Amino acid sequence: MIDNIVFLIITALAIGLFVGQIKKISRNIGLGREKIIGGNTSERLHKLLLVAFGQQKMFKRPLPAVLHGVVYVGFLVINIEVLEILIDGIFGTHRVLAFLGPVYSVLMAVVATVVPSYLIAEGIRLVGAGKYHYQGGINKQDEAF
């Protein structure tokens, strides 16, 4: 019972810090000037959906699109797992979503495979972006120091 109370207190503190950050960001966004937006509303909405949600750049190169898909699915599944952790921590249960049966097993398998997949994808991204290019055992970025 004490464990649940301590968990709840720590969770409440974390949520308080999160809300504080949201307020700070909202306040900073509010500092911007008003802008009159004109033009074709349906065209702007289409562009918004394509760029923000559809990731337009992903249609041009398949490898980044697949890696992006892996990260996206992992993000969704891990959020479900975090929700389960919160429920279990607050109420003292264990694997509260296990009633989902095979679906739950698949979700846990995805969590177990997505984390290593994400690490591999991030490594490919960093190497491809030239962040870690070694010559003679010296990182090119270190030469500036």
Question: Would you state the pLDDT for residue 131?
Answer: 62
The pLDDT of 111-127, averaged and rounded, is 81
CA distance to 30, 72, 93, per residue, from 104 (Å): 42, 18, 16
Q: pLDDT tens digit string along 40-83? A: 889 888 888 777 766 666 667 777 777 777 777 878 888 888 89
Residues 20 and 67 placed together within one structural domain of the fold: no
Q: How far is CA 142 from CA 86, 125, 139, in A?
A: 42, 20, 5
pTM of the model: 0.58
More confident position, 121 or 54: 121
Rg (CA), the chain: 22
Q: Is residue 143 part of a domain?
A: no
**Residue 37: its pLDDT value, please?**
82
For residue 39, tell me if it sits in a domain: no
Count of domains observed in the chain:
2
Tell me, yes or no, whether 139 lies in a domain. no
What letter does residue 34 receive in the DSSP assignment?
P
Give me the domain span that covers residue 63. Answer: 55-128
